[in-house]
Amino acid sequence: MLSERERRTLREIEERLAEEDQRFAEVMNRPLTGRASRWLRYGYDATIVLAGLLAVTCLAVTPGRTAGAGVVAALLAVGVFILRRRRFSQPASG
């Protein structure tokens, strides 16, 4: 969490940037759409699949030695899945 002073400073920086370059501010405030959004979803999906496969592999090959890595990979897959659902909670059009 940012302190009140840090939030105020960040707000001032944002306001200065918006004043100096309005076009940049508009682009930064625009939500991701189309191609960028699609590639971001693909990145989340690929991370989930790879972490899931790594978890299964680590737990199946030698459960005693690689169980910790398998658990970490499984937690990564779950975490990325949750982040993906939060970011793309509305159905994608197209």
Mean pLDDT of the chain: 82
Q: What are the sequence ranges of the domains in the chain? A: 1-30, 33-94
| Predicted structure pTM score | 0.53
**b vs e for 55-91, b when ≥16 Cβ sit within 10 Å of the residue's Cβ?**
beebbeeeeeebeeebeebbebbeebbeebeeeeeee
What tokens does 90 get? 């509305």
The length of the chain, given as a count of residues: 94
Model pLDDT for residues 27-73, shown as the tens digit of each residue:
777 766 677 677 888 888 999 999 999 988 888 887 777 788 888 99
What pLDDT is attached to residue 46?
92
**In terms of DSSP H, where are the helices of the chain?**
4-20, 22-29, 34-61, 63-87
Alpha-carbon 47 to chain mean position: 10
The answer to whether residue 1 scores a pLDDT higher than 70 is yes
